[in-house]
Amino acid sequence: MPAGHERPPVVIVGAGVAGLVAAVALHEAGIPVRVFEAADDVGGRMRTDRHAEGFLLDRGYQVLLDAYPAAQRWIDHDALELGRFDAGALLWTGRRLAPLANPLRHPAALPRDLTSRVFSMADKVRLARLGAETACAPWQSANQAATSLGNDMPAVEYLWSCGFSEAFVDRFARPFWGGITLDPHLAGSSGPLLFTMKMFLRGSAALPKAGIGAMPFQLLARLPEGTVSLSSRVTSIVVADGRLTGVRVARKKIPAAAVIVATDPVAAEQLTGVRALANAAAGVPSVTVFLAGERDPGTGPRIVLDATRRLLVNEIAPLSAAQPSYAPPGRHLIAAVIVGDAARNADLEDIGQRARDDVATMLGHDPSDWRVLETVAVPFSQFAQPPGIYRRLPGNVAHPPGLFLASEATVDSSYNGAMLSGDNAAGIVRRELAFAASAPRVERDAAG
């Protein structure tokens, strides 16, 4: 920059966790940043609303995994006052709820689980072997887990190749990992299956006391006031002489030393023209029906999986049993989660009542014990991750010079992937700005 002119800030488009991590990393490295967010608050897909009756409703059921490497780097988990789900599940067999526990956390449950007939002893041995392999793997992301395979394949085929039985795949793997990847067919890459297995063995699924939206708020608190402009949609990037010079917000040009596009993949493709990003058709939907009641679900903080695969609801998450702050005193909150084709073709008019009936069936309650509080449909919850996709994803550097990407879309579809991407993008921008700042000095030195 000419003497007397201050370098403009790095502009970040989008205040989801990818954009916020990038902003915090740059700010803490002494680089001025401005963040523009189209929505009325930060968090992107990780937001929490307080219902008029005092319940905490996340914008779709999701959990915090405290072993996620990127979250361990960027999030103070203790400050979130986590409520944890139990390391195990209850499987609805059509007649009863069969318990299944993680033997590393609940060794006392081992004799019971080993003799349970939900799936065979051979499957239990295979599961223990796979668990031991994944727990020691060095992966930092689902992307790395998939890439380490060399030949990525659909998750279901990976399970077949390990010798798992149909009973194991249908009764446990499809509802369990189907709930995580939102695809009960398990047709996507094996990476998320392997990586989340490692995460569940290394840590817990949990909910922050203030809801899932507490994570982005924790990042926001590390930025100076006024850094983030809400309700400010970036409509285009501005290029002059082949180099990016700023962005346009409400027709006004905002100058930028560099621009990091940290929107969802669909908006990122529209703004940057980078074609390798997931488009709207690649969005994987989910529907969450929040149900409130005065009757204890009776599950403890354990999720309930539909092992019959005949119900609309894939799983029940007893939210207030895991994190009591999710419901006012004396009340209970559960999430009935619908994924796969059922979520894609969901008729939102009657889905709440159907979910309530499924919940009553699985819990052995009367449907009138539960009331539909809200139904949250998110058409683009994650992007589809077919086998091999990670090799085709774009990197953090885009064109023209000065344009960068920070998004789950450069790593994998998870908040771990989003945070890793934000961290990477900030590192690259720091190095580029440092290089640009040092270049004139080198010329002067050379001149004598």
Ligand X SMILES: Cc1cc2nc3c(=O)[nH]c(=O)nc-3n(C[C@H](O)[C@H](O)[C@H](O)COP(=O)(O)OP(=O)(O)OC[C@H]3O[C@@H](n4cnc5c(N)ncnc54)[C@H](O)[C@@H]3O)c2cc1C
List of residues contacting ligand X (CB under 6 A)? 13-19, 36-39, 44-46, 60-63, 233-234, 262-264, 267, 286, 378, 381-382, 407-408, 413-416, 418
| Closer of 73 and 112 to ligand X (Cβ) | 73
| Closer of 249 and 359 to ligand X (Cβ) | 249
| Closer of 190 and 381 to ligand X (Cβ) | 381
CB of residue 271 vs ligand X: minimum separation in angstroms?
6
CB of residue 19 vs ligand X: minimum separation in angstroms?
6
CB of residue 406 vs ligand X: minimum separation in angstroms?
7
| Closer of 323 and 413 to ligand X (Cβ) | 413
Whether the Cβ atoms of residue 31 and residue 11 lie closer than 8 Å to each other? no
Surface-to-core class of residue 166, CB atoms within 10 Å of its CB (0-12 exposed, 13-18 middle, 19+ buried): exposed
Please state the separation of Cα 430 from the chain's center in Å.
26
Whether the Cβ atoms of residue 367 and residue 344 lie closer than 8 Å to each other? no
| Closer of 62 and 190 to ligand X (Cβ) | 62
| Closer of 109 and 377 to ligand X (Cβ) | 377
Nearest of 368, 304, 382, 378 to residue 336 by alpha carbon = 304
CB of residue 438 vs ligand X: minimum separation in angstroms?
31
CB of residue 415 vs ligand X: minimum separation in angstroms?
4
| Closer of 98 and 193 to ligand X (Cβ) | 193
CB of residue 206 vs ligand X: minimum separation in angstroms?
11
CB of residue 295 vs ligand X: minimum separation in angstroms?
26
CB of residue 140 vs ligand X: minimum separation in angstroms?
13
| Closer of 42 and 363 to ligand X (Cβ) | 42
